[in-house]
Chain A
């Protein structure tokens, strides 16, 4: 395996680590806002790392650019979705859990 393949593998593994952490947060955190926080931030980073790894594997600038655009779109979509869910939860009077 070449250095770039190792680097890509490292990036993808790190990315799945972020996805894992985000999912743990979604399952374990007490209220909507902290769950959203964990999910969107960690998943966006994870997706970015996985995308970087995949782009590195492809060895093509065109594919790298396309993957970057896809990542940016996913980033924007998840930010807007996060904002809307949080806003709706706020409007419904969802309470923030204090630390036990």
Chain B
């Protein structure tokens, strides 16, 4: 397997190089997506299936879709943007040498690092039974380090608001206007694949309790189902967000905070879940988080404040 890993590592470096040096924006985006898939594969090889799923769903899948839709929203002359002059040779050499030196130093440091016996990881693994779920990654995300995840959800919400503010002047509202949307296979795609995607997404969220999966991976797949619906013209961006959509957007953060406050009077600590109810509370939080993540990612894709079913 050392040969496979070596080829994979080399391939990722080469793809990263091509992604940065590609003269064509579109080519750069495609190479970036391929690099995301290779990164997912490398996480799988490192025995980190959670990260592999997240990288494949978010890094390669949704990020690729976002980049491609942004590319399509660019005015024609900006799509083939080759007119910005390349940096001076000295600058390029400096950047290259500094990056290689940084990488070597990091590799040496990480190699020399001895794992601490009393590290938080060992402590957390030892007390996994108290966490409510069997899966260590989910236990850390939703219980041991739930502050981080809560703040991440806040960051995602802020990012969405910022992106919507920045994106609005870029693209006109509306669904895909490509010639392909009247294809007879589009209804098949919408009616066969979307339910399957929803099922897989919900399963991934639920599977986070005992195996690889979780709110982010499942949410990304659910958001992907929404993207398919938009591309099939079953959903389209709307300039106004309905009250239901706004509720779904903040559902994750709200439920997370509520669950955190639940035991504040009794336990005296934020995010102290009541013993015995930890598992149902964490599953509820996980599904609410996934819903908010899915809606956020979908709105990032449409670039609009809301979505609606188009009139036909």
**A-to-B contact residues, CB < 8 Å:** 73, 76-77, 79-80, 83-84, 87-88, 91-92
Contacts and interface: CB of A to CB of B under 8 A. Distances in A.
B161 to A, nearest CB: 33
Given A83-B185, A84-B185, A76 B180 contact: no
Q: Chain B at the A interface: mostly helix, strand, loop or mixed?
A: helix
A84 B180 contact: yes
B196 interface: yes
A80 B180 contact: no
Contact of B180 (A73, A77, A91): A91
A80 B196 CA distance: 15
B283 to A, nearest CB: 24
A76 B179 CA distance: 21
Top 4 nearest A-B pairs (CB, nearest first) are A91-B179, A84-B180, A87-B180, A80-B185
A5 B253 CA distance: 50
Interface residues of B, number: 10
A80 B179 contact: no
A80 B178 contact: no
A88 B185 contact: no
A92 B179 CA distance: 9
Contacts of B178: 88
A87 B179 contact: yes
A77 B185 CA distance: 11
A79 B185 CA distance: 10
